[in-house]
Structure 1
Amino acid sequence: MEVTNCKACGNLFNYTSGPRLCPNCMKKLEKKFAITKDYIRENPHANINTVAKECKVSIPQIKKWIREERLSFSQESGIGLECDNCGKMIRTGRFCAECKAKMINNLDNAYEKPKPVVQKKKEKEKERMRYLDK
C-alpha cells in the first residue's frame, strides 16, 4: 500500500487500487452515480447536458461512466459516443459490436493453438504377428 493524496479533497489516505480518491470521496461519487442513473431511468429522452446539469455531475464524468459500461442511454435519447476504433455511434462502452467481434477474432488467431498429441506406435510392433501360448 502507498499513502497518497486524494485528487478531490487532498486528504492523505492508503491507496490500494482504482481511482485516487479517498473512501469519503468515493462514497460521494457513488451517490452521484446512483442519482445520475435514477435520473436517466426516469428521463430516457434527456440529453447529456441536461443530465449533467440536473445531477450536478460533470460531462466528462458521465462519459467515463458510459465508457466503463456502468451507464447506458436508450435508443430514443439520441445520445451516443463514438466507437474508439471505427467512429460508429454506440450507446455504451468503448467499441461497437462489430469491432468487439473483430478484436475477439484477432485475439483468438494471435496465438497458436496446441496441436493434439498423437501417439505413434512403432512400425515393427504394428506389423508383427502375435502368438498365444497355451
Structure 2
Amino acid sequence: MAELRNCPSCNSFFNYTGMREVCHNCAQKEEDQYQEVYRFLRKRENRAANVDRIVEATSVERDLLYKWVRKGRLHPAMFPNLGYPCDNCGRLTTTGKLCEKCQNELKSELRTLEAAQEFRDEMNRQNRATYHSEKK
C-alpha cells in the first residue's frame, strides 16, 4: 500500500512505495546526474578523482555521491578515491557504517568491557564461597 509523502528535494507530494525516497521527477533528475558522474568517471584520467574533484567537475551534491557509493552504484574498487563518511568520525570509508579505526576502537572497548564483567563475575563467585566466623 502506497503512503503519501513529501519529496525531500522539491517538497511535492508523491506515493511512497518503499522503492525510492524522492518523487518521480526528482528521481529522474538524480538518474541524469548519476549518468553525468558516471560518464565523467569512465574517462581514464578521471578514475582516480576524489569526491571534491567530482563535485567541482559535475556540480552534483556531495551527499548524492555518498548515497550512490553506499548503495553500490559507484564501486570504490573501480574508483579508488570514492567513499562515504564514517557515522562516528566522518572519515571516508567504503564498507559498513564505521571506518576501520572506529571499528577497532569499538572492538577494543568491547573487549575491555567484557574483561571487566568477567572480573566482576569472578569476584562475586569468590565472595559467595567465603565463610565468615565471629571471634569471641
Q: Once superposed, which parts of structure 1, at least 4 consecutive aligned residues long, lie more than 4 Å away?
A: 89-93
Deviation (angstroms), 1:17: 1.0
Distance 1:7 1:65, change over 3 A: same
Instruction: Say what the alpha-carbon RMSD is for the aligned residues.
Output: 3.2
Unmatched 5+ stretches in structure 2: 98-136
TM-fit CA distance, 1:73: 3.9
Gap regions ≥5 residues in structure 1: 96-134
| Rg larger for | 1
Superposed, 1:52-131 pairs within 5 Å as 52-73=55-76, 79-81=81-83, 92-94=94-96
Are the counterparts in 1 of residues 83 and 94 from structure 2 also a CA contact under 8 Å?
A: yes
Secondary structure of 2:57 counterpart: helix
Q: TM-score, normalised by structure 1?
A: 0.55
Give the SS at the match of 1:4.
strand
TM-score (norm 2): 0.55
Letter in 2 for 1:36: V
- 8 Å CA contact 1:9–1:25 kept in 2: the answer is yes
Q: Is the 8 A contact 1:72 1:91 kept in 2?
A: no
Name the structure 2 match of 1:34: 35
Deviations 1:102-127 (A, max 9, x none): xxxxxxxxxxxxxxxxxxxxxxxxxx
Letter in 2 for 1:33: Y
Confirm or deny that 1:5 pairs with 2:24.
no
- Whether the aligned pair in 1 keeps the contact of 2:66 and 2:84 (CA below 8 Å) is no
8 Å CA contact retained: 1:52, 1:58: yes
